[in-house]
Structure 1
Amino acid sequence: MRAYLFLLSLLLCGVLNAQNTIQGVVTETNNLAIIGANIRVIGDSAGTITDSDGKFILNTSKELPYEIEVSFIGFESKRISINSKKQQITIVLIEKHNLLDEIVVSASRTPERVFESPVTIERMGIADIKKTASSTFYDGLENLKEVQMNTSSLTFKSINTRGFATVANSRFLQLVDGMDNSSPLLNFVLGNMVGISEIDVQNVELLPGASSALYGANAFNGIMFMNSKSPFTYQGITAYAKYGQTSQKAAGSNDYIDYGIRMAHAFDKHFAAKANFTYMRGTDWFATNYRDKTIAGRDRDHQNYDGINIYGDEVSTNIYTVGQTMVANNLLPSNLAALLPNENVSRTGYNEIDLTNNKASNTKIDLSFHFRPFGEENFEIIWLSKFGFGNAVYQGANRYYLNNFFMQQHKIEFKGKNFFLRGYTTSEDGGQSYDMQFTGININRKWKSDNDWFGQYAGAYSQAYAGLFGPTYTGNASASHAFARAAAETGRLIPGTAAFNNAFNEVISNPDVLSGSKLVDNSKIYHADANYNFKDLISFAEIQIGGSYRKYELNSFGRIYTDANGIINYNEYGAYTQLMKKFLDERLKFTGSIRYDKSKNFEGNYSPRLSLVYSGGEAKNHNFRASFQTGFRNPTTQDQYIGFNVGNAVLIGSAPDNLSRYSETRPVANGSPAVGQLYAGGTSVVMTGDNAYNNSYTASSVMAFAAFAAANPGNTPGAAALLRKTDVNYVKPEEVKAFELGYRSRVKDVIIDISTYYNIYNNFIGSANAIAPLYGKASNTFDFASGAPTYATNPEVQSLHALANGNVRIYQLYTNTDVEIKSFGFGLGLSKKVYKDFELGVNYNYAEFSFDQAKDPSFEAGFNTPKHRVKASFGNEKLFKNFGFNISGRWNDSYLWQSAMVDGMVDSATVVDAQINYNIPSLKSTLKIGASNIGGKEYTQVLGAGLIGQQYFASWTINP
């Protein structure tokens, strides 16, 4: 990497060799400078942009006379003839007030106006980035229509559209300069941690909804394209620096810094290069949700408390069973053991804020070299290398601290007027990342084993309850629990002490989940894709063909996947074609696409798309669109190959070769009656993935079994009748049929965008919780007459003994529901200039889904999306000379959050952001002061993550 930087720095110090140099200025009709206008030479690759004064210097090898074209979004383009080097060039662009004329590529893989797009599309350009009131352009994407942001931490935010939102959003695809930005290990995007610098963004295009027909498996609920600036067009050195503070009740006020630099230069018409460097550092939002994960109203004084942001208290056991084991080992008199309640007790956990330094940081570096063999943009070869590393908190089944996480991407691309061919690789290193839940669990075990802790608890409780420590505790369960916990906590490691820090450092550096918490990862992706457009060879219609190939190399060293004995390899490939043709005086546009994809473990899938766009009205300014497409999503690497012990449960993927690879040894308690080890054939058993899928009960039926047994002692047949054997298929691809109608128009000075969609999901991928007995056979029917009273020859009834005595293992299975899921929504966007240059925009989204939970009680759909969302913005970039401002606000109602870690309600939220900016032409720079969530209530977007407070910043950007 250093070699790249050194080489590029040498290149950027080169001397221009252009034969002709011209200078000029670009303004609008009121004589204000236009910053960032594009100037290009017609028939040549030379180009540049205007600086903060609207001025430009253009170097070209083209001989006089020639033409230049000047363009800027929101203005009509203009061509100027250049006849002399000394010619005074002043260009005045006329505003056209029609954002629908912006050019997008992503909707059809070919350039077209937003107005002509066959599907809903959102766009953010250079001017929008300047206006955003958010601290970064990526945060500003949240103000786009249909976008839902899920904030896991300050540096880790995921984008979602059209429902079923998670932090680990594998249904949404993010491409940066054509490269999938997903983590090879986790199969989802890590926000903008390995993305793009805001001073290098050319534009962002976002397609809500299914896009599998052109982009394959993961473009299931949406896809976003982040495109960077070309060094041939955007040259010079650009830099920015931000300083501010984050403010949160739990964390207080903390400094926030963010700075970056972009260097780009075209040495001649054949060769250009650029480099970007950005660095951000701050303090993360403290996660301090201490509500019990499962029981509403249960507080920390409860003997079996399990707090959301407390780790180590997941370790829980039945205290009566502990007492019986102690009796068998002559460690507790039977009369005292009989006083122990038949209920679970959990160990005392550690707060999340004690298990992480809460520091968030992100460094991004990218280098690219651009070669045009023929001196024109019709054929270009690009080498791009991207590096990203930093700290963040990721939330999945547990909370994980990504500490010095590192990811890199390298791409070679050949592209021309009608084609591209690219190949890239993505690799990552987990650094010193760790699982916070296992950190808490194993720090506890460092100073006292679970057996010793629960033994001391049982002994102290029984003696206190018996009155051996005074009348205060005699027959008093709550006081005896408090006494027992205090006794068992003797020797506890206290956060901040040297002993605690030593134990903490030992645990997070150890990848063995029995004693450590380190996440180990060195996974890779190899990807290639190509596209060719026959529009210059075939005249009756525009036809494209393309395809892709991807290979995964999973290498977590057995920590997350079942790859302890070697790397797991698998691949997938796809091919597509598209036909587009216009009819009726080019008022009606038809687009038809179809794609075939095949993954190693699954049958192939076809994904068609059909769309019609009609341009009505005399000026063709009323756009009506309709589309139908099917999409699919291959199960992720986690769905297929995970074998992750998260403490209280194991996550098991269902690839055929995965089930036997996962195994663990579990201890067996004798129970009451003391025959557990007899049924198990020993003091421990080996459990595999086959137990999870093929010999388990649904978690919901086990809960019903336990509740009935507690209320009806002795009625074992009645309790057993409530049990249901887990009957789930191995995970397979998810499918969607997506229908969309839309309307776009500009009526007078109001831009209108309306869309509505209806999705039908089949084989929806999700999780199901199962509980496997350590011995016996899971069944839906039981013969209580056979083998009574010991049931030694009745495996079905033996499984009931396992359930009743805690001899079980909990699993989260990856599977599909047979129940059809439907989602539907509506979106409305309006924008207009309300007075002179004051711009007002407002959009509304409605989202809902339908799932018959009674048909599949154990399945969690995880829609995780507000039913109602409203967003608005108001601003003026020309309030007076060099001064502009923008205010944005958003509101959402409350909604249900479902995840592997915790379920619950997310409260409604109202958020207001604002910024003012001032251009300083003499310094070629812009000052900006902004704030997010001004004076607002702290809010959450992910249940279990920290509440989001306020963020204030001031930035200084220097333009070329």
Structure 2
Amino acid sequence: FVVGYIKAQDWAATDYRNRLDLDDPNIDPYLNPGYDGVNVYGDDVVVPVNLKDQAPQIAAGVADAQGLTPGTPEYIAEVQRVIGLIPDQLVTRTGYKEKDLYDYNTYNVRSRLSLSYRINPDLEIELFGGFTKGSSIYTAQSRFALNNFQAYNGKLELKGSDFFVRAWATKENAGDTYDVGNTTSRFNEIWKPSEEWYTDYISSFVVNYIYPGFIKDDLPLSYYYARVAADNRTPEGNIQDISKIARPLPGTQEFDDIWQPLISKPISEGGGQVIDKSSMYHFEGMYDFSKFFAHTKLQVGASHRVYNLNSEGNVFFDTPGKPIIQNQFGAFGQLIQPFFNERLNVTLSGRYDKNSSFDGRFTPRMSLVYSLDKEKTHNVRASTQTAFRFPSSPDQWLNLSLGQMDINGKQFNFRVIGGNKEVHEFYDLNSTPVYALSGNNPFIGVPENEPFVIPVFRPETVTALEIGYKGLYLDKLLFVDTYFFHNTYDSFHAKQAIAQYPGTANENRYITTISAENAVVTYGWAIGADMVMPAGFMLKGNLMNNTIDVGNNTNTGFQSRFNTPPYKINVGLSNYHILHNIGFSVSWRWQDSFRWESDFGKADIPSYATIDAQVSMKLPQWSSVVKVGGSNLLNQYYTTGFGNSAIGGLYYVSVTYDEFLN
């Protein structure tokens, strides 16, 4: 029986760059009207509002206010003058920083109970159960606050010397989880609908920038006063006009009166709460026939998995009381045959898999391992295999709304959806033209002129080749391992941003999973070495490379989401007996910069390096080990994905009691 509890203050996500231009140094929304912060929410560009698009209406209003008669030369001249003054400028609403919306108090409670009974020397039965509850925050399609999520898992297994049969299940409950970004956008619509907010913004901008006798020609100051007027609050928090509603401030009762009901209302009902009570059940068995052969090893097995996707229509394409049930079957066989006094081992295997949404498929595999010497200190390996992957449950059935607004009579919806035909047919994506979207942000991406044909959604297949070598040198003090791999994917699962009915009052935008029409190739290599040195020192290191080539899949809006650094380096030095009962380890890690692609956005993730170190002391008289150490010892903040928290140093002291310590 094991129980664990962790409580901590998580690192904050404080990337305040402008999502619309990550290199723009102006991140002040009062001076940059189109600011859309990475970790700022409610300022998202759901319906693009550009001052230039409003110019004819603004100009006509200015001319009318001066008493000019429409159609006269004076009227036309004034309209043209005003239109010429209006800048080509996107305007976003005033958002809220994530750190003002989420407290970053994270905790995790874990419990595990395992019961085993040995029926006889060759037969054992085990019953296992586990429970987890906690809170955290993570990045997916948006930033999600996992508040009081729960997960249950259990397993029943019967195993013998040459077989096993097991059944296990997992069930989750999202608890009080909510979509931080989506909730904040809806929060803004409640305290002041965008229709009213933009009206006040534009009115103030026109008065200050267009009319004679006001600020005039001071564009930044006009932007400043326009936002203050629309929010009815200065950057310092002061209300301008107490007779009008003002932007609520985090931490106030006024704010909580809107926020708390929103995060308690499901997304499907206009709130931000995520409901997910999905579960999975898995059954599998394996039998080893090797005892019937002198040298050959033969194993066969089968599995059956059941997915129960139950989000009550909030996350998946299910409905309340009618979850999505998916079945997946699989069977495999593996034969290992040695040759030449076991210096050559040949492995042949194959498996058949079937998913209720896709046709079944058989995939064969073969690998060779050859020892170059009798002592088997130098070994080469090669393998070729075909494999395929069914789309994940979210890639098939996701149906998550990330924004819905109504501005100037234009309703705009943005969703992340799965690639299954049932989902696409529901939104008429197969019967109406859709257009690929350009840029890093699908909210404001420009649709292509020609329609995009969504490829047939299929399982992803891969033909994989690998060659490798392992060897011992210097009287077995040096161990070297290296390999090269090359994978060719057919129907590679990628993401595609598309628009439906672009430029109309019914425009919708989606990110969906697709099967790439052309081949995608990934390849790479790695080399690693472990060296036993004098006086008990151990030196380790490795260098890895991973590369992707998307080939001819260059359609606008295509995302491979490889999200892997081209190069990684790890170097470590340790000695667990440098002094009596005292040991240490130190490691240096570096990874290259790379391109990050996700539903949350696309950006370059900078390279970074960290140092980890630990000193340990054994206390045999107390059967204990004390460890003092740190991860990211120099506290150099880095991030591993776009929108994530920046990770700093973590320092710890641990005491472990072990009655068997010697």
Q: TM-score range by the shorter chain?
A: 0.7 to 0.9
| CA positional deviation for 1:297 | 3.1
Asked whether the equivalents of residues 702 and 771 of structure 1 are also in contact (C-alpha less than 8 Å), the reply is no
User: Could you tell me which of 386, 397, 400 is aligned with 2:141?
Assistant: 397
- Runs of 4+ in structure 1 deviating by more than 4 angstroms, as ranges, are 319-330, 332-343, 701-704
- 1:657 is matched with which residue: 413, 422, 435? 422
- Is the contact made by 1:319 and 1:454 (CA closer than 8 Å) also made in structure 2? no
Could you say what secondary structure the match of 1:536 adopts? helix
- Within-5 A mapping of 1:803-842: 803=503, 808-842=507-541
SS of 1:308's equivalent?
Answer: coil
Match of 1:13 in 2: none
Of 726, 740, 746 in structure 1, the residue corresponding to residue 472 of structure 2 is 746
Distance change >3 Å, CA 608–CA 429, structure 1 → 2: same
| CA RMSD after TM alignment | 2.7
Equivalent residue number for residue 351 of structure 2: 595
Residues 876 and 885 of structure 1 are in contact (CA less than 8 Å); yes or no, is this contact kept in structure 2? yes
Give the corresponding residue for 1:72: none
CA contact (8 A) 1:317 1:806 kept: no
- Residue 493 in 1 paired to residue 221 in 2? no
The aligned amino acid for 1:363 is V
The aligned runs of 1:517-916 (5 Å cut-off) are 517-539=272-294, 541-565=296-320, 566-647=322-403, 649-661=414-426, 689-691=427-429, 694-700=432-438, 723-747=449-473, 748=475, 749-773=477-501, 803=503, 808-852=507-551, 855-916=554-615
Paired letter, 1:481: Y
| 2:40 equivalent to 1:307 | no
Which has the bigger relative contact order, CA under 8 A and spacing at least 6?
A: 1
| CA distance in structure 2 between the partners assigned to 1:406 and 1:642 by the alignment | 21
C-alpha separation in 2, matches of 1:750 and 1:702: 47
Matched residue SS, 1:646: strand
Gaps of 5+ in 2: 71-77, 233-245, 404-412
8 A contact 2:485–2:523 mirrored in 1: yes
CA-CA distance at 1:304 after TM superposition: 1.8
Letter of the 2:421 partner, please give it: P
Structure 1 pair 551/707, CA: closer, same or farther in 2 (3 Å)?
closer
Tell me, yes or no, if the aligned pair for 2:487 and 2:523 is still in contact at 8 Å. yes
Moved more, 481-490 or 299-308: 299-308
Q: Give 2:265's aligned residue.
A: 510
Instruction: Tell me the equivalent position of 1:369.
Output: 115
Matched position secondary structure for 1:488: helix
> How far is 1:503 from its partner?
2.1
Partner Cα distance (1:390, 1:509) in 2: 18
Alpha-carbon distance in structure 2 between the residues aligned to 1:770 and 1:707: 9
Distance 1:627 1:486 in 2: 65
Secondary structure of the corresponding residue to residue 724 of structure 1: coil
Q: 1:904, CA displacement in angstroms?
A: 1.4
* Matches of 1:345 and 1:730, distance apart in 2: 38
* Contact 1:701–1:723 under 8 Å retained in 2: no
Structure 1, residues 878-921: CA drift from partner, whole Å, max 9, x if none? Answer: 11221111111111121111222121111111111001111111
TM-fit CA distance, 1:515: 3.7
Contact 2:299 2:334 in 1 (8 A): yes
Counterparts of residues 877-956 of structure 1 (less than 5 Å):
877-956=576-655
Cα separation, partners in 2 of 1:907 and 1:621, compared to 1, 3 Å = same
Deviations 1:755-807 (A, max 9, x none): 1111111111011011111xxxxxxxxxxxxxxxxxxxxxxxxxxxx52x675
Cα drift, residue 424 of structure 1: 1.2
Q: Which residue of 2 aligns with 1:158?
A: none
In structure 2, what is the equivalent of residue 424 of structure 1? Answer: 168
Alignment check: 8 A CA contact 1:871 1:888 kept: yes
8 Å Cα contact 1:293-1:307 kept in structure 2: yes
The 5 A counterparts of 1:304-453 are: 304-314=34-44, 315-319=46-50, 343-374=89-120, 376=121, 378-453=122-197
In the TM superposition, residue 563 of structure 1 has moved relative to its aligned partner by 1.4
Deviation at 1:836, TM superposition (A): 2.2
Please give the residue correspondences for 1:32-431 in structure 2 after superposition, counting only pairs within 5 Å.
275-298=1-24, 299-300=27-28, 301-314=31-44, 315-319=46-50, 343-374=89-120, 376=121, 378-431=122-175
TM-aligned CA deviation for residue 369 of structure 1:
0.8
Q: Secondary structure at the match of 1:423?
A: strand
Secondary structure of the equivalent of 2:159?
A: strand
Measure the CA separation in 1 of the matches of 2:137 and 2:445. Answer: 37
User: What is the CA distance between 1:340 and its match in structure 2?
Assistant: 5.7
Pair 405,322 (structure 1): closer, same or farther in 2 beyond 3 Å: farther
What is the TM-score of this pair, normalised by structure 1? Answer: 0.61
Distance in 2 separating the partners of 1:596 and 1:540: 26
Give the C-alpha shift of residue 936 in structure 1. Answer: 4.3
In structure 2, what residue type is equivalent to 1:915? Q
* Distance (Å, rounded) in 2 between the aligned partners of 1:513 and 1:906: 33
> One-letter code of the match for 1:847?
N
Structure 1 residue identity aligned to 2:226: A
Q: Which ranges of structure 1 fall in alignment gaps of 5 or more residues? A: 1-274, 662-688, 709-719, 774-801
Change (3 A) 1:868 1:831: same
Aligned pair count?
612
Q: 1:509·1:518 contact (CA, 8 Å) conserved in 2? A: yes
Contact 1:741 1:756 in 2 (8 A): yes
Shift of 1:327: 11
TM-fit CA distance, 1:591: 0.4
Question: Any conservation in 2 of the 1:692–1:771 contact (CA below 8 Å)?
Answer: no
Deviates more, 1:407-416 or 1:813-822: 813-822
Q: Assess if the C-alpha contact under 8 Å between 1:326 and 1:455 holds in 2.
A: no
1:80 maps to what in 2?
none
Following TM superposition, by how much is the alpha carbon of 1:464 offset from its aligned partner in structure 2, in angstroms? 2.4
Task: Describe the SS at the equivalent of 2:455.
Answer: coil
CA contact (8 A) 1:654 1:730 kept: no
Q: What's the CA shift for 1:319?
A: 4.7
Rate the CA distance shift 1:342–1:934 in 2: closer, same or farther, 3 A: closer
Structure-2 change in CA distance of 1:922 and 1:703 (3 Å): closer
Q: Which amino acid letter does the alignment assign opposite residue 211 of structure 2?
A: G
CA distance in 2, matches of 1:945, 1:512: 23
Distance between the aligned counterparts of 2:112 and 2:119, measured in 1?
23
Percent of aligned pairs sharing the same letter: 31
Counterpart in the other structure of 1:471: 214
Conserved 8 A contact 2:638-2:648: yes
Per-residue CA distance 1:555-588 (angstroms, 9 max, x = gap): 1111111213421111111111010111101111
Going from structure 1 to structure 2, the CA distance change for 1:445 and 1:660 (only over 3 Å counts) comes to: same
SS at match of 2:261: helix
Q: Aligned letter for 1:659?
A: H
Amino acid at match of 2:650: Q
Q: Are the equivalent residues in 1 in contact too, given 2:176–2:273 (CA < 8 A)?
A: yes
Cα distance in structure 1, aligned partners of 2:158 and 2:340: 37
* Matched position secondary structure for 1:313: coil
Q: Is the 8 A contact 1:730 1:814 kept in 2?
A: no
CA–CA separation in structure 2 for the residues paired with 1:403 and 1:654: 29
Residues 631-662 of structure 1: CA deviation (Å, up to 9, x unaligned): 2111111111111111262112232222355x
